[in-house]
Structure 1
Amino acid sequence: MSPTASEALVHLDALRERLKEASGRLGWLRSYL
């Protein structure tokens, strides 16, 4: 695997974590509204 490909995978993982965090926060907000 080329270094750029593994870099992209790392970025994707970070994005996925951020998305999970954001959706969790949204659900928490929705339960309050």
Structure 2
Amino acid sequence: QRDLSADSGRAKNGGRFSVNLRQGIKKPVDPDNE
């Protein structure tokens, strides 16, 4: 159950991470933080 949740979170956060990197903001988002 936790794995599925974390997996979905990583997919969403992965996209944000890429956008943040483009903006020059290095701020990794934790799946649990959201």
Structure 2 residue runs without a partner (length 5+): 25-34
TM-score after normalising by structure 2 = 0.52
- Give every structure 1 segment of 4 or more consecutive aligned residues whose post-TM-superposition deviation is greater than 6 Å: none
TM-align CA RMSD: 1.1
Structure 1 residue runs without a partner (length 5+): 27-33
More helix by share: 1
Residues 1-33 of structure 1 show CA distances to partners (whole Å, capped at 9, x for unaligned) of xx321111000111111110000111xxxxxxx
In the TM superposition, 1:13-32 aligns within 5 A as 13-26=11-24
TM-score after normalising by structure 1 = 0.52
Higher RCO structure, 1 or 2 (CA under 8 Å, sep 6+): 2
Identity of paired residues, percent?
8
Q: How many residues align?
A: 24
